Amino acid sequence: MRETTLAPSQLIYPLFICEGRRQRVPIKSMPGVFRLSRDLAVKEAKAAAKLGIPAVALFPALPDRVKDRVATESLNPRGLLPTTVNAIKQAVPELAVVTDVAMDPYSSDGHDGYVEKGRILNDRSVEILCGMALCQAEAGADMVAPSDMMDGRVGAIRRVLDGSGFTEVGILSYAAKYCSAFYGPFRDALDSAPRSGDKKTYQMDPANRREALREVRLDVAEGADIVMVKPALPYLDVIADVRREVAVPVAAYQVSGEYAMIMAAAKAGWLDEKAAMLETLTAIRRAGADMILTYFARRAAEVLGG
């Protein structure tokens, strides 16, 4: 009688990576989640693949000294992210590696785009993002995932990738990404909070539902292979709308704050962690998400079986 299924094959596992060896640095606001150095990220990726999780999404945590206004480090082929992509693809070739395209981990301003005089310059940002996406494709990424919300970046990235022979690298677009309070723990994890201002000029107003469809249609027309709604649980209506609107697969991101809420309540003994995990993931699937990015991926896969 069950209408909705939940399986490890529907999960994408986000991993925070950092420099060093044998580093497993806890993130205070995300119990059970760590910044992992390359060697341990490879181990975690192997374990995920073994459990039937088809993909990981990588987010680099970089020291302030490599950050600048134009995200120069994001173009460094010997940087933390490209070398980790490479190490994971060598060790677990069957596991898809998704890389994040946005300036915030590399930017001294902590914004997803390029800042000049307190404003985000859209088109200058898109140029930088294209270079970043190319660097990630060259490192072996299977999919690039622009999370920046600049206009026109999906089409621009597609052209740059195709022009360099990366016709088979896909684009998972954060198409309907809201300006959400639920990203707080993620910004702790990467130390990437905006140094001034907020992200309201490029991320969406949580009050807007129809605008999500406009954003999604634009990204599909520009060549997005998968479109994502983010966050997930507070936006189930949007996931359902998007599912009805487009033919491409729909992803949803159960973000850091959603994870933190469940973990905090579970730690206090107020919620059953496993039950809340499975119920929220099932609800996100029921709303129409084909796949879910979730920090619970490994634990959920362990519970669900391969």
- Chain contacts with ligand PBG (rule: CB under 6 A): 100, 102, 104, 112, 147-148, 183, 186-187, 199, 255-256
**Can 230 be counted among the known catalytic residues?**
yes
Gap between the Cα atoms of 109 and 114, Å rounded: 8
State the CB neighbour count (10 A cutoff) for residue 209.
14
Task: Evaluate the omega torsion of the peptide bond into residue 231 and state whether it is cis, within 30 degrees of 0.
Answer: yes
Nearer to ligand PBG among residue 186 and residue 235 (C-beta):
186
Gap between the Cα atoms of 154 and 111, Å rounded: 18
Residue from 67, 89, 177, 199 carrying the catalytic annotation:
177
Q: How far is the CB of 167 from ligand PBG (least distance, A)?
A: 25
Nearer to ligand PBG among residue 66 and residue 255 (C-beta):
255
Residue recorded with tokens 């069950």: 2
Q: How far is the CB of 186 from ligand PBG (least distance, A)?
A: 3
For residue 111, what are its two tokens? 């914004």
Q: How far is the CB of 164 from ligand PBG (least distance, A)?
A: 23
Question: What pairing do the DSSP bridges indicate for beta strands 34-37 and 24-26?
Answer: antiparallel
Q: How far is the CB of 88 from ligand PBG (least distance, A)?
A: 19
Q: How far is the CB of 274 from ligand PBG (least distance, A)?
A: 20
Q: How far is the CB of 149 from ligand PBG (least distance, A)?
A: 8
296 dihedral zone (left: phi>0; alpha: psi -120 to 50; beta): alpha
How many angstroms separate the Cα of 78 from the Cα of each of 58, 129, 136, 305? 16, 18, 11, 37
Nearer to ligand PBG among residue 86 and residue 99 (C-beta):
99
For residue 78, what are its two tokens? 């010997």
Nearer to ligand PBG among residue 139 and residue 255 (C-beta):
255
Question: Which distant-in-sequence residues (6+ apart) come within 8 Å of 230 by Cβ?
Answer: 147, 174, 176, 177, 178, 180, 252, 253, 255
Residue from 67, 89, 199, 230 carrying the catalytic annotation:
230
Orientation of helix 273-287 relative to helix 297-304, angle to 10°: 90
Q: 26 forms bridges with which residues in the sheet?
A: 34
Nearer to ligand PBG among residue 162 and residue 289 (C-beta):
289
Gap between the Cα atoms of 259 and 295, Å rounded: 7
Does residue 189 contact residue 148 with C-beta atoms inside 8 Å? no
**Can 267 be counted among the known catalytic residues?**
no
Catalytic residues: 177, 230
